[in-house]
Structure 1
Amino acid sequence: MLYQRYRYSHWDGTQQIFDIDASEVMDALSDDLLQNGDVMRALRELFRNGMENRDGSQMPSLRQLMEQLKNQRRQQLQQSNLDSVVDDLKERLENILKTEREGIQARLDDAASQPEPDDAAGKEQHRSLNQLLRQRAEHNWTVSMTFPTIWEGRSRG
């Protein structure tokens, strides 16, 4: 089992912080020492296999603890990698929106610089086209200004 389940409760002073006390560790070491006669081997076995206390709960081995650390590190690296991808996408989106806004402004400037026709029908058509262009430009500008807000809301959720 790589992950143990923990239950948290309000501290009332009766909880034991460590499930295994020193006498249990010494008992486990002395049993192994009596069987094999080697203190270093007894310690290695304790670190390699962990130990079980009187209640039957298992103290994780060093290998299990290392595996847990590797998994946590892998998860953190994946998370930071995803963060950099999102940051890159945000930057690209900002560049696209900037280009769009510049294009809208350029179209408005071009329309404003065109001379009006001399005849009345041409003037009316020119005004209505300019008005339509301004309405579309205003709509597109509004969309381009609200899009980053929408993007940020989705990336957080």
Structure 2
Amino acid sequence: MTRHMDHSAHTSRVPAGWKMAATATLHCLTGCAIGEILGMVIGTALGWHNAPTMILAIVLAFVFGYALTMRSGLAAGLGIGAAVSLALTADTVSIIVMEIIDNAVVLAVPGAMDAGLTDALFWGSLIFALAVAFVVTTPVNKWMIGRGKGHAVMHSLHGHH
């Protein structure tokens, strides 16, 4: 009985917990990954050089990252202006950190930026970079949530349905 009570007392400390931070980071990673992959695929398919391809991938990562949060905000009953504001507040730092890490890793992997879409190195380096970005961004999100910033703003909505 005591063990069970200790466990439930432990899980009630969710607001600044790792679980919420990981969920927030995964949410951000989903939008970033969609944009990132789309940008890389478009740039590579069009035969663009590395710089414009990366710029497109980063822009699309922000677009999709923000869009997913806006969708959640609109679903929670927010107006479009409030949903945009929520996305900017909840995701900006998270997406910036994720994109810096993600792109730095891809740039660091020899040959990754020159790999084609049919090349295992292209997909492997992208997945590896997103995984590293997730590991680095989760503690950033945990820190922000613990201070009532970032995705803490998003989670405050769930009580207002």
Query: Which has more radius of gyration?
Result: 1
Question: Greater relative contact order: 1 or 2 (C-alpha under 8 angstroms, separation 6 or more)?
Answer: 2
Normalization by structure 2: what TM-score?
Answer: 0.29
Normalization by structure 1: what TM-score?
Answer: 0.30
